[in-house]
Amino acid sequence: MRMFIAVPLPEEVIRSIETVQEKCRPFDLHMKWVRPENCHITVKFLGEVDPDHIETFSGALQELAPKTAPFDVVFSELGFFPRPRRPRVFILNAPQAEKLTRFADALESRLRTVSPPRDKCFRAHITLGRFKSGRNLSLLKAALEKLHAAYRVPVDRIVLYQSTLTKEGPVYEPLGSFLFTGKDSGKE
């Protein structure tokens, strides 16, 4: 069973992502675009997991979510991952995401006995597409300054998803949704 933990996106952000993708299509990029309705903010990719661990994942989220106050994250930079020179992924990045990073770190710590550790620091982003090759990448890079994308995403819940890979693309099924109901300490 393939799983991940993510923040869902509101409908208006999903529609805006679709607009950004449409503006990029004329560049004839060799890219597999993420279906806008599948866009989300991955907090922890779990990969293939033993179904017996679902309770552990849910328990960690049930423990952390009520201690976390809702907050917003601003996504404002289109870019590439992991390196701009040879990117594999086209992303919308959130340069200032301290609260989400703290939550991701707390979750990482809580799941360390049942999930492999992250190999890199958490980076809040939304994946827009995955490059199959670098064809016409220079056109996209030149246009990035003109492609404005800035969205405020309310983070008021975290969702445990099952991901099923199909020929048409992945299908995501929510297995549990956990509301952030903590009080805001006022600290960023």
**Is-contact 52 165, C-beta < 8 A?**
no
In whole angstroms, what is the distance from residue 63 CA to residue 107 CA?
Answer: 10
Our answer to whether residue 30 is catalytic in this structure is: no
Measuring CA to CA, how many Å separate 37 from each of 9, 127, 154, 175?
A: 9, 12, 17, 17
**Is-contact 177 159, C-beta < 8 A?**
yes
In whole angstroms, what is the distance from residue 69 CA to residue 72 CA?
Answer: 10
Catalytic residue among 30, 40, 53, 148: 40
Helical ranges in 11-150 per DSSP H: 11-24, 54-64, 98-110, 137-143
Among candidates 7, 27, 29, 49, which has minimal Cα distance to 152?
7
In whole angstroms, what is the distance from residue 40 CA to residue 74 CA?
Answer: 14
Our answer to whether residue 53 is catalytic in this structure is: no
Which residues are known to be catalytic? 40, 125
